[in-house]
Structure 1
Amino acid sequence: MTTTDTRTAYLLAAEQAVDLLEAGEVAHRWQKESVLPGMSVGALAGHLARSVLQVEWFLDGEVTGAEPVTPAHYYARLTGTTAPGSALNVGVRARSEETAAAGPEAVADEARAAWQRLSARLTAEPADRRVAVLHRPGEEMLLDGYLRTRCVELAVHLEDLALSVGVGTPTPGAALAVAVDVLVAAARERHGDQAVLHALTRRERDVEGALRVL
């Protein structure tokens, strides 16, 4: 996938996310529980919005030239993804609720404005552009690699939020393809190819649940 393909896939999915954040159904159910236990619709919307907002934040962060982390490794090393009380999930909920505190209109407006700026900015960034991963001090990724992780987040949480408020919001196919590619690569790195092969072809031997990355 080329730089142009990656950035186009990301921007299309981000636009779909912004459209959903602006939907009246989201504002109406802001305080209600989402399909993710322990997470309100507002917090889920805040989490979705951050896949647009953080790209700008990371682009504006200071880079030092550290070896860039790959999208597969970004996910492969995560622990506690399925435990609600894990440090990972507690941190995600806290950051999401912090964003959601501004309210549905402000979150949607901020995400729309960021998407508009990124639509212009991403066309001018070079292929070797790096970004600082601000919640992991000292860590960096290539911009296109980070956008691939955002395609994962957008693909997963667009569906979560749409189901939470009862609307149909399909994720653009290009972003879905990126998400599957990244997550399968993460599964291979985490569990090895034999385990992933079992998960794909011999479920009775899939003792590790190798394809479950998040």
Structure 2
Amino acid sequence: MTMTNDIRKAYLQAAEEAVRLLATEQVAGGWENESVLPGMSVGGLAGHLARSVLQVEWFLDGPVTGAEPVSPVRYYARLVGTSVPDSALNVGVRARSEETAAAGPAAVAEQAREVWERLTQRLDREPADRRVAVLHRQGEEMLLDGYLRTRCVELAVHLDDLALSVGEHPRTPDAALAVAVDVLVAAARDRHGDQAVLHALARRERDTADALRVL
């Protein structure tokens, strides 16, 4: 199996678990409740999780111009304000998530399921050099498989968040977890340097930069 197929399979497995969780009674019943993420409802968090399925199709259908593709590591390493609730980054994330969630639990779950079903066929047909437009970052592009790596990160992180918010046990597939950890550790190295990451991994008392915290 090629690396392209590995990444696409890992993504689709994680997306399938997101589709399953979004359709549960626990998520629908807790839609208006506070999630484990301060300031974000269960519905908003569900909308954010769903977008890691929906956006892949949206981005595949977006216009590409041939710009230098952004790597998945740089996609995360350059983010600022990730741990500040009222940062521009987090305000934008919540707004987009709530916009998706406004359709209601049944519609969000069904939209995610329909898109996942289409992607199981479509991703098989896309070439290894396929680019996608990052529509919420005007003018940016990524290689499809690089973008799917970022979606493995988002699915792994937010499957855990949403499951805990509604009393479910997270079931993120191992392959997607491995991709997520690889990307986030590489982003930490890019952002802070190897010495800081080494301290975070092996000498926590010297970890003055909280170097493993990327999101």
* DSSP 3-state at the match of 1:157: helix
Render the CA deviation track for 1:162-203: whole Å, top value 9, x for unaligned.
Answer: 000001231000000000000000001000111111111111
Q: How many residues align?
A: 214
* DSSP 3-state at the match of 2:172: coil
Counterpart CA distance in 1 for 2:135 and 2:213 is: 26
Aligned twin of 1:5: 6
Aligned twin of 2:57: 56
User: Alpha-carbon deviation of 1:53?
Assistant: 0.1
Aligned twin of 1:187: 188
Partner AA of 1:9 in structure 2: A
Residues 20 and 169, structure 1, Cα contact 8 Å, conserved in 2: no
Matched, 1:171 2:149: no
Matched, 1:87 2:88: yes
Residues 148 and 178, structure 1, Cα contact 8 Å, conserved in 2: yes
Task: Extract unaligned runs of 5+ from structure 1.
Answer: none
4+ aligned runs moved over 4 Å, structure 1: none
User: Alpha-carbon deviation of 1:129?
Assistant: 0.3
Aligned twin of 2:153: 152
Counterpart CA distance in 1 for 2:197 and 2:67 is: 30
Render the CA deviation track for 1:142-181: whole Å, top value 9, x for unaligned.
Answer: 0000000000000000010000000123100000000000
* DSSP 3-state at the match of 1:131: strand
Counterpart CA distance in 2 for 1:82 and 1:63 is: 31
Greater shift after overlay, 35-44 or 1-10? 1-10
* DSSP 3-state at the match of 1:207: coil
Matched, 1:131 2:106: no
Partner AA of 2:80 in structure 1: T
Partner AA of 1:171 in structure 2: T
Counterpart CA distance in 1 for 2:143 and 2:166 is: 34
Aligned twin of 2:29: 28
Counterpart CA distance in 1 for 2:81 and 2:156 is: 20
Counterpart CA distance in 2 for 1:203 and 1:37 is: 26
Matched, 1:120 2:121: yes
Aligned twin of 1:75: 76
Once superposed, what is the RMSD of the aligned Cα atoms?
0.7
Partner AA of 2:135 in structure 1: L
Partner AA of 1:59 in structure 2: L
Render the CA deviation track for 1:111-158: whole Å, top value 9, x for unaligned.
Answer: 000000000000000000000000001000000000000000000000
Task: Extract unaligned runs of 5+ from structure 2.
Answer: none
Aligned twin of 2:214: 213
